[in-house]
Structure 1
Amino acid sequence: MGAVQRSMTVVGAVLLVVGLAAFAAGALSADDLRALGARTAPVLGFVAAISVVAELADRAGVFAMLVHRAERLGRGRVWVLWLVFAALAVVATIFLSLDTTAVLLTPVVVLAARRLGLDPLPFAFTTVWLANTGSLLLPVSNLTNLLAHQRLGDPTPWEFAELTWRPALVAILVPMAVIAAVFARTLRQRYRPAVPAETTDRTRRRWSCVVLVVLLPALVSGVAPWIPATIAALALALIALVRGDRRSVRPSLVPWPLLLFAGGLFVAMEALVRAIPADRLDGLATSSTIGAAMSGAVGANLLNNLPAYLALEPIATDRTSLVALLVGVNAGPLITPWASLATLLWHQRLEAAGVRIPWGRFVLLGAVTCALTVPLAVWTV
């Protein structure tokens, strides 16, 4: 277990104890906990299932295959390769969640850049920024979206996308424009495509691709996302077992630290909201789009985007301000390393790959990109 997972486990356990203490003190009732469980169980179920899907797909070599195809599509032009990598990051984020992009796509993209003799930083920045800013479009793209989806009255994925597609598009294009400008010298280079050695089971990889192709439309079909994600996770586990890879199918596939962190956070934040008088919340309520978005962005970079969303959700008074809040907590966490769990996990994977991140540059570029992205995205809400 890495340092990030250990920290999540400790913080989650502390938050859960705080929440249970609030229950024991009477600040939370049994009905409150039951209502909270009914709201969050499908969310946590989806997070667990999609994490298993992504991990087993990675072990089957799906992401490595996609990156190799991207190298061939680039035809020696780095800027084309970068655009294909960016498209992969966006698709992975939208359908498989931002953590998938940060945890699984980042290492293979960075290793591909090194294999081709390229600076890995523009590709690393692309995956982490698009993991965050690209997570606005669908409910399944981000844990905050799943929570907002319920707050919005459980619209279909298409109805949700109708509310978010404009800011989602802006939130993708603006960071890409910044990267294109900052890393222009690298992107103008050329490369010679490498031929990686075949190290995966082709049959397993093909069947895993079939499962993912079926899963993606199922996630936007209107069925509760945890259902197709769970079926896909079981299917991929069965494929791994049939192909003789029993070591991959183990309990540690489930992201227990993340589930504990999120569960503890849900309970603790519910206790905090219940402790605030209703008239005080009414006084804080806002329908200002820019106010909701900037509050979300500031809160995410000071704390983390998930507690920022949970704390600010009660004061978003209508659909427009709630979508603006999502812009802030999804597209805004670009400045501090702890602004989102995806960024923390991304950093851990880069460290494992031996890539050093210049944090001063990360903070500066993130601040500029956040200052451009959030207002422009909110303007389209």
Structure 2
Amino acid sequence: MKPGDKVAAGVLLAGVACVATGWLPGDQAWASLARVAPLLLFLTGVVVIAELAREALVFDVAATGMAIAARGRPWALFALCVLFAATLTALLNLDTTAVLLTPVLLALAVRTGVPGLPLAMVAVWLANTASLLLPVSNLTNLLAADRIGLTATGFAARMWAPQLASVLVTAAVLWVLHWRKVEPYRVPEPVRPRDRRLFGVSLAACLLFAASIPFVHDGIAFVAAGIALALVAAFAALDRSVLRPSLVPWRLLVLVSGLFLLVPALVLHGVGDAVSALVGTGLARTAAVSAGLANALNNLPAYTAVEAALPGADADHLLAVLIGVNAGSVALPWASLATLICLEACARAGVRVPMARFVASGVLVAVLTVAAATGALWLTG
């Protein structure tokens, strides 16, 4: 069992123990699980879509196409990678960027000769800082949208400025710390899909899901699941070999389920009062405390803890919480599961990530992006 699997199992067992011992009353446990069930369905659908799209080489074709379009110019490749990572995160969830784009960018490093670390850091940071725009961009956003009652278009109308500020600040730090010294690279050969039919179906599935986001609110989980099932059926007819149980993100499902039992129990027994005292009333303080909790714990339990501590909060304060737990969860590796997944991919590819430098630069990104995004939220309020 991998370390991440052990953590997920441990969190679930701790949550079950809270219910079994009465630390979390049964009715509250069921209410919490009922709230998270649509999120788990959504997460499963999106990850299956993305995994099958990866099998069909949709992301490889796109990433190599960017390297070809940039014609060996590092600044152009950087701009395209930032745009691709930010768009993928916003439309298909930060876990898609972490699980699928990171290995693709690391493989692109081999094809082009660009150092792996600059490419990997695009995915590591933007998987978090670009997850503010839509409810589907992050599980925390889905939770907030449910409580605030915002549609996808309403959410985007309120968060486009924080998203833009967060992405631009992240891009600036990425350029200064990782990209400005990258040398011109060799232009790779195009990647050819192994099966054009599966490539076309997978690309269509991704585009259909993205196109459905503005028109679906409460049923987005069922849309994701339906498209995933249709894509699975296409693969079953054309290439059954890639269909395997590991397509389902079991570890994520177990971890999230456990957190939604463990965190409510902790909130009931003193954590909620402590968080409430810390958060205060201002947007900047709310975002800063949320970012600190995300790095101390993890972004998902941090959101649920702060949300529970702000029962009468208005929409802007909950959106400030999202800015903190999403854009601010880049300082420490465990602050975001997406970051842990990216770092695992780097380790498998032999790309060394100096941890002291990672933390120091992550603190810089967290402070600057949270400040910029919160300022944008306040200015457009």
TM range (shorter): over 0.9
Does the CA contact (< 8 Å) of 2:323 and 2:373 recur in 1?
yes
Once the two structures are superposed, the pairs formed by residues 7-18 of structure 1 within 5 Å of their partners are 7-18=6-17
The DSSP-based 3-state class of the residue aligned with 1:287 is coil
Identify the residue that residue 3 of structure 2 maps to in structure 1.
3
Identify the residue that residue 232 of structure 1 maps to in structure 2.
227
Query: Which digits, 9 at most, give the CA deviation of each residue in 1:317-342, with x for residues without a partner?
Result: 22111111111100001111111000
The CA RMSD measured in Å over matched residues stands at 2.0
The DSSP-based 3-state class of the residue aligned with 2:334 is coil
Measured in 2, the distance between the counterparts of 1:282 and 1:87 equals 37
Measured in 1, the distance between the counterparts of 2:68 and 2:15 equals 48
Q: Summarize the Cα distance change of 1:201–1:280 in structure 2 as closer, same or farther, 3 Å threshold.
A: closer
Does the CA contact (< 8 Å) of 2:23 and 2:265 recur in 1?
no
Once the two structures are superposed, the pairs formed by residues 1-381 of structure 1 within 5 Å of their partners are 2-4=2-4, 6-21=5-20, 24-25=21-22, 27-30=24-27, 32-153=28-149, 155-187=150-182, 189-195=183-189, 198=192, 200-223=194-217, 224-244=219-239, 246-276=240-270, 286-316=280-310, 317-381=313-377
Question: Residue 262 of structure 1: CA displacement?
Answer: 0.5
Normalization by structure 1: what TM-score? Answer: 0.92
Measured in 2, the distance between the counterparts of 1:40 and 1:336 equals 25
Question: Residue 250 of structure 1: CA displacement?
Answer: 2.3
Normalization by structure 2: what TM-score? Answer: 0.92
- Counterpart residue identity of residue 36, structure 2: T
Q: Summarize the Cα distance change of 1:120–1:282 in structure 2 as closer, same or farther, 3 Å threshold.
A: closer
Any gaps of 5 or more consecutive residues in structure 1?
A: none
Give the length in aligned residue pairs: 374
- Counterpart residue identity of residue 345, structure 1: I
Question: Residue 228 of structure 1: CA displacement?
Answer: 1.3
Q: Summarize the Cα distance change of 1:195–1:286 in structure 2 as closer, same or farther, 3 Å threshold.
A: same
Query: Which digits, 9 at most, give the CA deviation of each residue in 1:323-378, with x for residues without a partner?
Result: 11111100001111111000001111111111111111111111111121111211
Any gaps of 5 or more consecutive residues in structure 2?
A: none
Query: Which digits, 9 at most, give the CA deviation of each residue in 1:29-86, with x for residues without a partner?
Result: 33x2332233111111101111111111111111101111111211221111111111
Q: Summarize the Cα distance change of 1:233–1:170 in structure 2 as closer, same or farther, 3 Å threshold.
A: same
Measured in 2, the distance between the counterparts of 1:184 and 1:84 equals 13
Q: Summarize the Cα distance change of 1:335–1:376 in structure 2 as closer, same or farther, 3 Å threshold.
A: same
